[in-house]
């Protein structure tokens, strides 16, 4: 399914879908470049986002919910989604790492991600997200 | 910090009726992948987008005006093809998203966007206002959150479609730089100043006056506000040939040419916005302003006083006479008013209209930070009551408040939070309720329709179109007429006037476009009369609207189809003097609106939420209120600081003085001698600051003081002479210097004190 097709299927504008991907609400396409494709899983994720929005949740809360972390009572006083880094290792592999750690820990994690990327996929699309 | 947008620079020409502006947006990608950048901004008053030019290394392209669906389709196709694409699309409340997609890694792209914008007209000049930031605005179904220290706001999609708002930062210093360089045309300028920015002015007798930001750059946390005062208050007509053989014109006719107002009793409701964003100096000044305004009423006048946030509270359920007791009651009521909650403006207007019945005026004092304004306008139009607005704020809600006043036949003013709100309120109040003219009609295909009534201090603006051979436009009103000479003009002026008129017409029609209707599917919108008219006006004038958007696609070698650009939303500074915590202060759930809440979760999602530990609780309605407002800066920025400071202090004294007037128009006192002497001193105190029977913000107060002095009978010959001097001063504006304000405020002032100063 192309971006235009998933936009049609979900009733959401393509620009909104790209915005959701950048916000970490939605996974990126399963292939890169001109073969970029979206699946039924993406449609289901978008439906979930719409339902959570209808329930009164903000996008940042939905990021936390879908990321498996509990919604916080006082989000401004705790680390939030913006403090996480997402590494898309391959079309089917994503690694999340907590940002803001000590320099040695950050270096150690990056090295590990790099090593892992070399093992599981030829492409290294490292990307920062929430 | 890597910024997707690095610079926003305003240039262009400002005419006495509006500006033809070009805004430069510089986008840069410091990423290793293509970017899609979204910049959000509000339109100024009576504004429309005309076109944009997009440039970069080795390319330049111009926008096309297309129906919005087609424009979005063209933009998306461009993105899918891997091409650089840009889309300028307008949403409800005059909000615009400028989206530029597929900015390549390390590339700089500049968009020059042409905007037509109106100005706030006054008899002796105008105020130009341009938004460098966007004010967060209350909506009953808004959702807010704080993410990494930045405020995030989401509006309901069923009203605002796919609009994306910026994130708001308390500290704008690390955001993109802003600035301006404007030229002022067709103007004989006496004074030029800005209460918002430091400016440098270059005046050239032969050419236009140029005004620019004095520092090298500034931050996006407030509007640019420029005040222009003419050397002379007179009729100004701009015209010139346009492409279709017609001659568009714009005429500004000062209110002083329509005569004096009549003295019929007034019926007025003061409606004060007490929402959280008004906290601090704005609400303190508004309280004082209302007291001073009420003191301008006589006992024959009737008034009401209401405040609103999420709820409306009234001092009394009906209008009351402006007696001493009722004014005291109003003062007590105002003391209990603090800023809190949301901005349910429509409910406030409806309640005020109910109290007024079929006739009267509402004066709203508000920061106007409210969303869904088309609905509010519809409600207000339905009341058939005249509404005047005093706006307060550093970020523009000027478009909404000017529409609110115009659509109901009232007048509006918009001041920054660092100016004296109370002085402007008193001035506005003096012109309300008693129009100097009504029943206006103009020859020369005048469109839009002239205003229903003319008020002192605010000129009439007429737009029209005439054939090349005509030289005059006739303006008539109940009991008067005026011939306006229309110059032949040049093509540049003619084109500017044609576009400004188009922008005004589009703004008027958009204000009648219900939000839900405007985001409905195309098939449904095609049946809308407003949508059809907007398409027609857009095509006629070559201007964008909610139905027509601007789009450009730049195909280049090396475009990579299918590559997904990374979306970046440009952050903006929280408007200066609006508390961040007023919108984003508390836990996100506490500032959600109840109306947005629904328990209809699917089992799967609900289960997922429960697994994640989310607890459900019905959100509260109230906004957080603890706020910080920076101290105000001098009103008269064109004056040296010491003079400006003195002027501000004396104005504060006059507001206090005005609030003291008794219902019979005299000053208070223990006996008749003290009352008479203090009243004379009060007249001199106002006159020495330039306020007379017909001039200045306190003209109503001077008239009431003079009325009291005329009613005095049991006085000696010497005292009569003092009264005559005061009455002469009130008419002619001449008075000897003295500590008049001190004497007027002093409870022991007597005749001898007045004589001593005058000797």
Q: Report pLDDT for B597.
A: 26
Per the prediction, chain B carries an average pLDDT of: 86
Q: Tell whether the model's pLDDT for residue A7 goes beyond 90.
A: yes
Q: Summarize the confidence of residues B107-121 as an average pLDDT.
A: 97
Q: What is the pLDDT of residue A74?
A: 41
Contact state of B612 with A48 under an 8 Å Cβ cutoff: no
Q: How far is A104 from chain B (nearest CA, A)?
A: 22
Cβ-Cβ contacts under 8 Å, B561 against chain A: 33-34
Structure tokens belonging to residue B70: 């087609």
Residue found by looking up tokens 């609030």 in the block = B659
Structure tokens, B475 = 């303006």
> Please, are residues B355 and B93 in contact by the beta-carbon 8 Å criterion?
no
> DSSP characters for B636-655?
-TTS-HHHHHHHHHHHHHHH
Lowest mean pLDDT among B160-169, B324-333, B349-358, B592-601: B592-601
Strands B572-573, B168-169: parallel, antiparallel or unpaired by DSSP? Answer: parallel
Pick from B561, B567, B612: CB nearest A19: B567
Collect all residues of chain A within an 8 Å Cβ-Cβ radius of residue B609. 52, 65
Residue B203 is predicted with a pLDDT of 81
Q: Please, where are the H alpha helices in B511-615?
A: 515-518, 522-525, 529-541, 580-584, 603-611
User: Which residues of chain B are within 8 Å of residue A25 when distances are taken between CB atoms?
Assistant: none
Does A54 sit within 8 Å of B147, measured CB to CB?
Answer: no
> What's the rounded Cα separation, in Å, for the pair B256 and B627?
42
pTM above 0.95, yes or no: no
Report the C-alpha gap between B630 and B171 in whole angstroms.
Answer: 13
CB burial string B418-430: b at 16+ within 10 A, e below: bbbbbbbbbbbbb
Alpha-carbon gap: B506 to the closest alpha carbon of chain A (Å): 26
- What's the confidence (pLDDT) of residue B648? 61
Model confidence at B620: pLDDT above 50: no
Helices B717-732 and B699-711: angle between axes, nearest 10 degrees:
160
Residue with structure tokens 């004379």?
B680
> Most A CBs within 10 Å: which of B147, B149, B165, as the mutation test of the A interface?
B147
Asked if pLDDT for residue B644 goes beyond 50, the answer is: no
| pLDDT at residue B647 in the model | 57
Q: Which of A21, A48, A55 minimises the CB distance to B564?
A: A21
The pLDDT of residue B593 is above 60: no
Q: How far apart are CA B320 and CA B712, in angstroms?
A: 27
What average pLDDT does this structure show over B347-372? Answer: 89
CA gap B349, A109 in Å, rounded: 59
Share of chain B above pLDDT 90, in %: 54
d(CA B730, CA B709): 11
Distances from the Cα of B87 to the Cα of A96, B10, B41, angstroms: 33, 19, 14
- pLDDT tens column, B214-233: 999 999 999 999 999 998 88
Which residues of chain B are within 8 Å of residue A13 when distances are taken between CB atoms? 72, 161-162
Q: Is B21 helix (H, G, I), strand (E, B) or coil?
A: strand
CA distance B322 to B566: 62
Q: Interior CA angle at B129 toward B234 and B160, to 5°? A: 130
Closest alpha carbon within chain B to A4: B76
Specify whether the CB–CB gap between B268 and B290 falls below 8 A.
no
Query: Chain B: residue nearest A34 by CA?
Result: B562
Residues of A in Cβ contact (< 8 Å) with B569: 19
How far apart CA B450 and CA B475 sit, in angstroms, is 10
- Greater confidence (A32 vs B293) lies with B293
What is the reported pLDDT for B612? 39
Q: What is the pLDDT of residue B304?
A: 95
pLDDT for B399 equals 93
Residues B457-475 have a mean pLDDT of 90
Find the range with the poorest average confidence among B130-134, B480-484, B630-634, B742-746: B630-634
Give the pLDDT mean for B493-516. 93
Q: What distance in Å separates residue A29's CA from the closest CA in chain B?
A: 8
* Best B567, B586, B602, B604 residue to mutate vs chain A (most A CBs within 10 Å): B567
* pLDDT at site B737: 85
* Residue B191, Cβ density class (10 Å: 0-12 exposed, 13-18 middle, ≥19 buried): middle
- B669 pLDDT more than 50: yes
pLDDT of residue A68: 54
pLDDT at B268: 94
Greater pLDDT, A23 or B591: A23
* In the predicted structure, residue B637 carries a pLDDT above the cut 70: no
pLDDT of residue B299: 82
Note the ipTM here.
0.81
Chain A residues in contact with B589 by the CB 8 A cut-off are 73
- pLDDT in the model for residue B261: 66
Average the pLDDT over B44-59 and give the result. Answer: 97
Q: Is the pLDDT of residue A94 over 90?
A: no
Per-residue pLDDT reduced to its tens digit, B52-108: 999 999 999 999 999 999 999 999 999 999 999 999 999 999 999 999 999 999 999
Structure tokens at B290: 């209302």
A99: Cβ contacts below 8 Å, ≥ 6 apart: A83, A84, A85, A106
For A18, left (φ over 0), alpha (ψ -120 to 50), or beta? Answer: alpha
Query: What distance in Å separates the CA atoms of residue B346 and residue B308, rounded to the nearest whole number?
Result: 10
Q: Average pLDDT of chain A?
A: 77
Cis bond leading into B448, ω under 30°? yes
- pLDDT given at position B557: 94
Which residue from B143, B146, B163 is spatially nearest to B154, judged by alpha carbons?
A: B143
Is residue B416 pLDDT above 90, yes or no? no
Task: Give the tokens for residue B353.
Answer: 């209209």
**How far does chain A reach from its first CA to its final CA, in angstroms?**
25
Cα A40 to chain centroid, rounded: 16
Q: Name the residue in chain B with its Cα closest to that of A79.
A: B148
Residue A71 has pLDDT above 60, yes or no: no
């Amino acid at each position: 399914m192309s971006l235009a097709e998933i936009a049609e299927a979900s009733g959401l504008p393509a620009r909104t879908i790209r915005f959701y991907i950048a916000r970490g609400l939605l996974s990126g396409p399963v292939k890169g470049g001109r073969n970029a494709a979206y699946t039924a899983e993406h449609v289901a994720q978008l439906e979930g986002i719409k339902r959570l929005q209808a329930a009164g949740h903000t996008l940042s809360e939905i990021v936390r919910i879908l990321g498996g972390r509990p919604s916080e009572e006082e989000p401004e006083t705790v680390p939030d989604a913006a403090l996480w880094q997402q590494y898309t290792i391959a079309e089917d592999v994503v690694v999340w790492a907590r940002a803001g750690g000590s320099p040695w820990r950050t270096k150690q994690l990056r090295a590990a991600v790099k090593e892992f990327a070399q093992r599981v996929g030829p492409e290294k699309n490292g990307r920062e997200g929430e | 910090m890597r910024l997707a947008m690095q610079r926003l620079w305003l240039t262009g020409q400002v005419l006495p009726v509006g500006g033809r502006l070009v805004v430069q947006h510089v986008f840069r990608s410091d990423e290793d992948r293509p970017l899609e950048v979204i910049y959000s901004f509000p339109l100024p008053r009576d504004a429309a987008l005309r076109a944009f030019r997009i440039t970069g290394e080795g390319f330049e392209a111009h926008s096309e005006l297309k129906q919005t669906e087609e424009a979005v389709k063209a933009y998306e196709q461009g993105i899918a093809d891997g091409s650089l694409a840009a889309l300028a699309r307008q949403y409800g409340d005059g909000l615009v998203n400028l989206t530029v997609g597929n900015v390549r890694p390390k590339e700089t792209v500049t968009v020059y966007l042409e905007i037509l914008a109106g100005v706030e007209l006054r008899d002796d000049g105008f105020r130009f206002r341009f938004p460098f930031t966007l004010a967060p605005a209350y909506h009953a179904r808004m959702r807010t959150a704080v993410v990494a220290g930045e405020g995030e706001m989401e509006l309901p999609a069923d009203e605002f479609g796919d609009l994306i708002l910026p994130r708001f930062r308390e500290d704008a210093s690390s955001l993109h730089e802003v600035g301006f360089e404007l030229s002022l045309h067709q103007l004989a300028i006496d004074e030029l100043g800005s209460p918002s920015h430091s400016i440098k002015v270059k005046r050239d007798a032969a050419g236009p006056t140029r005004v620019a930001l004095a520092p090298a750059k500034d931050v996006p946390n407030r509007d640019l506000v420029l005040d222009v005062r003419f050397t002379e208050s007179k009729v100004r007509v701009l015209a010139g040939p346009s492409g279709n053989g017609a001659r568009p014109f714009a005429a500004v006719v000062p209110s002083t040419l329509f005569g004096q107002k009549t003295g019929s009793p007034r019926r007025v409701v003061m409606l004060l916005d007490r929402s959280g964003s008004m906290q601090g100096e704005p609400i303190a000044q508004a309280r004082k302003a209302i007291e001073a305004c009420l003191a301008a009423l006589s006992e024959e006048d009737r008034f009401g006083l209401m405040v609103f946030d999420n709820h409306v509270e009234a001092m009394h359920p009906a209008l009351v006479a402006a007696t001493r007791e009722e004014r005291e009651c109003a003062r007590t009521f105002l003391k209990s008013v603090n800023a809190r909650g949301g901005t349910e403006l429509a409910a406030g207007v409806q309640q005020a209209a109910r109290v007024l019945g079929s006739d009267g005026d509402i004066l709203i004092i508000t920061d106007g930070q409210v969303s869904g304004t088309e609905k509010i306008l519809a409600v207000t139009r339905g009341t058939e009551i005249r509404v005047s607005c005093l706006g307060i704020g550093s970020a523009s809600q000027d478009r909404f408040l000017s529409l609110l006043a115009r659509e109901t036949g009232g007048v509006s003013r918009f001041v920054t939070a660092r100016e004296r709100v109370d002085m402007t309120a008193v001035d506005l109040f003096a012109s309300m309720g008693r129009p100097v003219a009504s029943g206006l009609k103009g020859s020369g295909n005048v469109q839009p329709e002239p205003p229903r009534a003319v008020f002192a201090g605010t000129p009439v603006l007429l737009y029209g179109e005439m054939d090349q051979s005509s030289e005059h436009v006739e303006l008539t009103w109940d009991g008067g007429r005026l011939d306006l000479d229309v110059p032949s003009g040049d093509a540049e002026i003619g084109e500017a006037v044609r576009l400004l008129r188009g922008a005004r017409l589009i703004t008027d029609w958009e204000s009648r476009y219900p939000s839900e209707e405007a985001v409905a599917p195309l098939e449904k919108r095609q049946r809308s009369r407003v949508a059809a008219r907007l398409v027609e006006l857009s095509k006629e004038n070559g201007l964008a609207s909610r139905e027509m958007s601007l789009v450009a696609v730049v195909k280049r070698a090396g475009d990579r189809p299918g590559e997904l650009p990374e979306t970046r939303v440009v952050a903006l500074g929280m408007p200066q003097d609006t508390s961040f915590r007023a919108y984003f202060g508390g836990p996100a759930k506490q500032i959600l609106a109840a109306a947005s809440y629904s328990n209809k979760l699917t089992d799967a999602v609900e289960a997922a939420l429960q697994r994640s530990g989310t607890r459900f609780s019905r959100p509260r309605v109230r906004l957080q209120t603890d706020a910080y407002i920076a101290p105000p800066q001098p009103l008269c920025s064109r004056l040296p600081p010491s003079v400006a400071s003195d002027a501000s202090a004396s104005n504060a004294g006059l507001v206090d003085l005005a609030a003291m007037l008794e219902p019979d128009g005299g000053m208070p006192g223990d006996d008749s001698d003290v009352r008479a002497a203090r009243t004379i001193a009060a007249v001199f105190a106002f006159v020495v600051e330039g306020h007379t029977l017909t001039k200045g913000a306190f003209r109503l107060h001077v008239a009431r003081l003079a009325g009291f002095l005329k009613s005095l009978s049991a006085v000696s010959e010497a005292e009569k002479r003092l009264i005559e001097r005061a009455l002469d001063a009130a008419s002619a504006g001449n008075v000897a210097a003295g500590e008049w304000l001190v004497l007027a405020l002093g409870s022991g002032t007597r005749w001898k004190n007045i004589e001593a100063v005058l000797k």
